[in-house]
């Protein structure tokens, strides 16, 4: 529960807004039957006490109020649903990212011991392990592992700019492709 509270704490203003919108929705929802009770008790059952003009003015005014109350209630409910959706999406994305980050920070042996196949199966939907770097060119984030630890991370272009391990592997694989594309018996020169 403390963990959930620590995540929800940063959304306290949105949660307060959602609760205020829920209150407005409930209050205005309760006003609607009250207005119709008044229409029935004051006008429908005693219509003979009013002139036609008074009757239609009174009923029209109350029905307009009922429509306004229903509109305010509906708008408050829609905004409440939107705010709750925003909180849920942000919280879910943050929890998921933190879980992935934690799993990737573990050494592989510890990860394998603690998580067994269950978490690994879930990570496979997100995590692509590749030896050919051309398969991860369009990935949102690439993690470069060395001896089971993350040594670099970023997009393809960012990792190339760093000129680290990823850059060295990329240059090596590009060289292999160029050599494989060269017809047998011909050599490329650097002149």
**pTM, entire model:** 0.50
Domain co-membership, 56 together with 88: yes
- Asked if residue 89 is part of any domain, the answer here is yes
State the residue range of the domain holding 91: 11-105
Q: Please state whether 185 falls in left (phi above 0), alpha (psi between -120 and 50) or beta.
A: left
Could you give the percent of the chain with pLDDT greater than 70? 76
- Asked if residue 161 is part of any domain, the answer here is yes
Domain co-membership, 67 together with 20: yes
pLDDT band (50, 70, 90) for residue 85: confident
Question: For residue 78, how many other CB atoms are within 10 A of its CB?
Answer: 12
Task: Note the pLDDT of residue 178.
Answer: 55
Domain co-membership, 30 together with 93: yes
- In which residue are the tokens 């408050």 written? 76
Domain co-membership, 19 together with 77: yes
Residues 112-146: pLDDT tens digits? 555 555 555 555 445 556 666 777 777 778 888 87
- Asked if residue 16 is part of any domain, the answer here is yes
CA distances to 18, 33, 59, 80, 133 from 69, rounded to whole Å, are 19, 10, 15, 16, 60
CB-based contact 163:178 (threshold 8 Å): no
Task: Note the pLDDT of residue 181.
Answer: 47
Task: Note the pLDDT of residue 151.
Answer: 87
pLDDT band (50, 70, 90) for residue 24: very high
């Amino acid at each position: 529960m403390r963990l959930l509270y620590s995540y929800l704490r940063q959304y306290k203003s949105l949660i307060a807004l959602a609760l205020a919108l829920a209150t407005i929705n409930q209050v205005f929802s309760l006003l609607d039957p009250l207005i119709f009770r008044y229409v029935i008790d004051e006008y429908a059952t005693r219509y003979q006490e009013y002139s036609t003009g008074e009757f239609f003015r009174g009923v029209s005014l109350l029905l307009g109020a009922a429509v306004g109350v229903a509109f305010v209630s509906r708008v408050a409910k829609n905004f409440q649903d939107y705010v709750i959706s925003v909180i849920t999406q942000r919280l879910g994305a943050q929890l998921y990212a933190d879980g992935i980050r934690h799993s990737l920070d573990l050494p592989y042996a510890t990860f394998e011991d603690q998580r067994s196949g269950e978490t690994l199966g879930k990570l496979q939907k997100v995590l692509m392990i590749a030896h050919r770097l051309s398969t991860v060119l369009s990935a949102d984030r690439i993690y470069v592992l060395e001896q089971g630890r993350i040594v670099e991370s970023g997009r393809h272009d960012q990792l190339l700019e760093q000129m680290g391990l990823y850059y060295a592997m990329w240059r090596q694989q590009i060289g292999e492709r160029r050599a494989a594309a060269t017809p047998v018996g011909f050599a490329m020169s650097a002149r």
